[in-house]
Structure 1
Amino acid sequence: MVALLALLATLGALAATGLLVQRAYKERLLYLIAWSFTQVGLTLALLCMGLGLMMGFNGPLFRVMELGAALIGPVWLALGMIELIARYVQVRFAAWLFAISYTVVAIVILILDPLKGSLSKSLPKPSATYDALPLLLIDGAHVVAVIALAGCTGVTAWLASKRDQEAAELLIPVALVALAGVLVVSGTRGFLPAPLAAIALGAAAGLVWYGSMRTIPVYEEGEGYDEYGDEPATGYEEQGYPSAAKAEPVPAPTPPPDSRRGELRFPEPVAEELRYPVNTSIPEQPQQPAQPAQPAYPDNPAGPTAIDGIGNVLEQAALGRARPGAPGGELANACGQITVYTLLDGREDAFDRLATDLVKAALAAEPDTLVFASHDVVGAPTQRIFYQLFRDEAAFAAHRRQPHLQRFLAESRTHVLATNVIELKLGPAKMPLPAPEFPGR
């Protein structure tokens, strides 16, 4: 019965491993890859446990069981947790370096070190089978795993208490994975009887799979986000977190969505009269004889476009730098930023979806962000360039505090290999060509 229980747990762990490996291959996220190694180790350990309880343990079955559950399982579970939680690349790099080097050294020693005692159909205890050095390596793996999992859980809970939205989303998955780590360590220390050890390892495999499935919210296309908002329609409010303040709804753009890429965020031309009051110090000019009506925009007799409006804003700003009394001189302190993102291969679509949501949120909530454009780079499919123009330094600082920007920075981290930032001051400028509105993804 105990062997049958272990084999049933093996089938469950095998199914969970297949689902997690499939998602890791599709998403190409490093923490999913690390947890896939954990799942493979737990599955092999359960298989060897079931075969050993059924036919009797031998050296290879015992060694594979210990390598999978006592070494690879906890170490790579902790590595995946650090990769998911840590916001500094130096921490993640150090974790990968330690995990790989420790695993390689420990595998060599656990395979080559001679066993002591005799093996039977009963579940062997590591302390009665291994010498001091392998036991020291296993104990070290467990200590590191417990400290890392407990630390990551504590940090996530603390950030969630400070209303960090990313931490609030990850709190439950992190707790589930931490519980899986406790079960792995408990099931491999030799303290539990064989039935409970098999149940603990099988439950750990299930918790790792379920926790990984909840690390990234899945939204159907067109659902989960309102048209111009930066937060999901439901979710944070249910957890007691107020949603970010939003401006009044902005009318949808008249032109249909263009399939080409190139999101732009421009001020509406009709609002210029409200945004820039007329300079009443200019004396009223005598009326001139009526002249034939001329189009205000010779290249576009039908009327002004968004690009005409921003072109005039930029020209006025440039004139204002030279002539402080000229209209538009209040934009003389306009500043900008160019951000160059180098993406991981295969992560372009996921990053582009986040960029689209960010631009829509800027349109709705940032009236002093004059231009927000996302560009592809011809010949470099893994590069994206953001161009942003702000009215002044205060507008730039307000943009950096926006919750939708913080959300973008947190969620895009797993898609970005490198980032370069260039700060700008506005000079003479002209934008003669119109750009597409929000294209369909």
Structure 2
Amino acid sequence: MSGSMGSTMGVLVAFLALAGALTAGMTTAVLIGRLREEPTGWLIAWSVAAGALTLSLGTIGIGHLAGFGAGTFRISQITGSLLAPLWLAVGVLQLLADKGSSRFGGWLIGSALTVVGAVIMLLDPISGAFSKELPDAGAHWDIWPEYLLHGVHGLVIVMLVISLAVSLLSWRDGDDFDIDNMQATVVLAPAGLLLSAALELGLPAILVVVLMAVTAGGMWYAVARPLAPYEDDDEDEDDEPDEWTGRSRRAADRREPQVAAPSPVPPLPPAPRRSGLGDLVAEYQAKEEAELDFANRMQSADGFGPRARPDDFAGPATGQLIMPDPYGQPRQADFGVPAPGAPPVDPHDMPATGIMLPVVDSPAFPAAAAAAFGSAFGAASGQGVSASRQDGSVKPAAGIYGILTVFTLMDGSGEAFDKLAEETVEAVLRNEPDTLIFICHAVKSAPLQRIVYELYRDEVGFSEHQRQPHMERFATERQPLVLATNVIELTVNAAKVVPLPAAYRV
């Protein structure tokens, strides 16, 4: 009766061992497949452990069916008692370690014990007879292999207990990677602890086989679920994982994408140099399809702005920034920007929308403005022009000087810029007789754009305009409000100035 029960138990153990060997073999294949894509230290260690479990369980299954011998005993002991628990613990250490010294220490211990232990267990003589039951290691090994296995099992238990504590502590205040590491360690550390204890205490074969199979299944679960690669990691083809890197918080910070900032947009090809505002407005209208770097778009080709070279004004071009002389030479105030070293201006309150002309209560203002502009054109060209003429067309003199300035504002600064521009226009109206036209426009299709249109009797009048205190104030106080400035020089070929309709007055 007892022989029949023993035979049945042997068959059951053999069946469980072979099933466990199949599970461990599939786990090894999964680990190696993942290892080819992500050569990390913990995957290498667990691949060794899973391969060792495959050989050990297969040998145990064959031994329970056909009987054990010296060869099957050595293989099952080297793989199942030495390599499997040792490299399982080394893999958990590689997974959790933040410092390279800790990971290197794990590799050093694992490699040294593997080489020394395998040599001793292969060369040490074996005593005693074998049967179809799992051999008791203490009954067959000499003192050195026995003490070696005791030391390895004790070391594995200490490493797994420490790793379990570290993973739980990291999980309390950690990120998603720490949570994944904790879940994997909670599965693998208890399995490794129980397997080491069963091997150390010489528990029945069926328990040892079940614990080996559970350990192999735990590694498969850990790699397939909590330690599965994130989708962002799969899509990031440029990052090459380091062989020695674990999934610690530091490694996670190295690999995960920067979510605080939007993905960079590829730079636009350089735009051709050309006159006019059509390209700038078109870019703003296309902003729904892509975010454009207008500061970069408006940079001149040489990076120094319109006054960097003497020949830059051979033809007007969009995309030029007003910047100081790159060679450090003194210069006069240019385009409303004060010269270097100009005294600071007192801060001024700001906030309103774009204007065309300042508020004037007198109903005769449009006609008066038109008359002033018309007489100025006439004086410049040697012709008299009446403000009451509805056609108001003249052929201005060639000396009339014009500037068109496009300001791209910082987000949220439109109201402050418009208030500053309105006060500047009022000061120009009161103090600058040689300024024929000075208008600030808003752009319907580009809320962050302002266009200032200026005409002067000649370049001398423009120079006088630049030296006015209100223009220095305008240039100084607009700087924190403006992202980029684009300047276009103009010549006037023909002009018509008529009174503004009352509907357009603010």
TM-score with structure 1 length normalisation? 0.54
User: Given the alignment, which residue of 194, 199, 217 partners 2:205?
Assistant: 194
Task: Name the CA shift for 1:304/1:209 in 2 (closer, same or farther; >3 Å).
Answer: same
Matches within 5 A, 1:378-389: none
Once the two structures are superposed, what CA deviation does each residue of 1:40-72 show, in whole Å capped at 9, x if it has no partner? 001100011111111111111111111111111
User: Given the alignment, which residue of 254, 266, 276 partners 2:288?
Assistant: 254
Cα distance in 2 between the residues matched to 1:70 and 1:118: 20
Task: Name the CA shift for 1:253/1:88 in 2 (closer, same or farther; >3 Å).
Answer: farther
In the alignment, residue 73 of structure 2 is paired with which amino acid? F
Bigger-Rg structure (1/2)? 2
Task: Name the CA shift for 1:253/1:11 in 2 (closer, same or farther; >3 Å).
Answer: farther
Cα distance in 2 between the residues matched to 1:270 and 1:162: 43
Cα distance in 1 between the residues matched to 2:47 and 2:157: 19
**Equivalent pair of 1:78/1:148 in contact (CA under 8 Å):** yes
Question: Which residue number in structure 1 is paired with residue 428 of structure 2?
Answer: 286
Question: Which residue number in structure 1 is paired with residue 193 of structure 2?
Answer: 182
**Equivalent pair of 2:153/2:200 in contact (CA under 8 Å):** no
C-alpha displacement at 1:115, in angstroms?
A: 1.1
Cα distance in 2 between the residues matched to 1:295 and 1:275: 9
The alignment's C-alpha RMSD in Å is 4.2
1:147 aligns with 2:158: yes
Task: Name the CA shift for 1:98/1:145 in 2 (closer, same or farther; >3 Å).
Answer: same
Cα distance in 1 between the residues matched to 2:409 and 2:229: 38
Question: Which residue number in structure 2 is paired with residue 46 of structure 1?
Answer: 57
Question: Which residue number in structure 2 is paired with residue 5 of structure 1?
Answer: 16
**Equivalent pair of 2:68/2:131 in contact (CA under 8 Å):** yes
**Equivalent pair of 1:17/1:39 in contact (CA under 8 Å):** yes
Once the two structures are superposed, what CA deviation does each residue of 1:392-412 show, in whole Å capped at 9, x if it has no partner? xxxxxxxxxxxxxxxxxxxxx
1:132 aligns with 2:143: yes
Q: How many residues align?
A: 275
Once the two structures are superposed, what CA deviation does each residue of 1:364-383 show, in whole Å capped at 9, x if it has no partner? xxxxxx9xxxxxxxxxxxxx
C-alpha displacement at 1:39, in angstroms?
A: 0.1
C-alpha displacement at 1:216, in angstroms?
A: 3.2
C-alpha displacement at 1:303, in angstroms?
A: 7.5
In the alignment, residue 436 of structure 2 is paired with which amino acid? P
User: Given the alignment, which residue of 99, 103, 108 partners 2:114?
Assistant: 103
In the alignment, residue 156 of structure 1 is paired with which amino acid? S
In the alignment, residue 286 of structure 1 is paired with which amino acid? V
Give the secondary structure class of the aligned counterpart of 2:58. Answer: helix
Q: Percent identity?
A: 29
Cα distance in 1 between the residues matched to 2:104 and 2:112: 12
1:66 aligns with 2:77: yes
Cα distance in 2 between the residues matched to 1:111 and 1:151: 31
Cα distance in 2 between the residues matched to 1:135 and 1:108: 14
Give the secondary structure class of the aligned counterpart of 1:34. Answer: helix
- Which structure has more relative contact order (CA 8 Å, sep 6+)? It is 1
In the alignment, residue 166 of structure 1 is paired with which amino acid? F
Deviates more, 1:215-224 or 1:48-57: 215-224
Once the two structures are superposed, what CA deviation does each residue of 1:183-238 show, in whole Å capped at 9, x if it has no partner? 431442352212221111111110111112234355557999xxxxxxxxxxxxxx
Question: Which residue number in structure 2 is paired with residue 25 of structure 1?
Answer: 36
Task: Name the CA shift for 1:215/1:89 in 2 (closer, same or farther; >3 Å).
Answer: farther
Unaligned runs of 5+ in 1: 225-244, 259-268, 297-301, 306-324, 331-369, 371-441
C-alpha displacement at 1:91, in angstroms?
A: 0.9
**Equivalent pair of 1:44/1:65 in contact (CA under 8 Å):** yes
**Equivalent pair of 2:49/2:83 in contact (CA under 8 Å):** yes
Question: Which residue number in structure 2 is paired with residue 162 of structure 1?
Answer: 173
**Equivalent pair of 2:49/2:85 in contact (CA under 8 Å):** yes
**Equivalent pair of 2:184/2:227 in contact (CA under 8 Å):** no
C-alpha displacement at 1:278, in angstroms?
A: 6.1
Question: Which residue number in structure 2 is paired with residue 391 of structure 1?
Answer: none
Deviates more, 1:277-286 or 1:162-171: 277-286
Task: Name the CA shift for 1:295/1:175 in 2 (closer, same or farther; >3 Å).
Answer: same
Once the two structures are superposed, what CA deviation does each residue of 1:308-350 show, in whole Å capped at 9, x if it has no partner? xxxxxxxxxxxxxxxxx887689xxxxxxxxxxxxxxxxxxxx
TM-score with structure 2 length normalisation? 0.47
Cα distance in 1 between the residues matched to 2:231 and 2:18: 37
C-alpha displacement at 1:113, in angstroms?
A: 0.9
Question: Which residue number in structure 2 is paired with residue 374 of structure 1?
Answer: none
Cα distance in 1 between the residues matched to 2:181 and 2:287: 35
C-alpha displacement at 1:108, in angstroms?
A: 0.7
Task: Name the CA shift for 1:193/1:147 in 2 (closer, same or farther; >3 Å).
Answer: same
User: Given the alignment, which residue of 208, 213, 231 partners 2:224?
Assistant: 213
Task: Name the CA shift for 1:114/1:257 in 2 (closer, same or farther; >3 Å).
Answer: farther
Cα distance in 2 between the residues matched to 1:223 and 1:94: 30
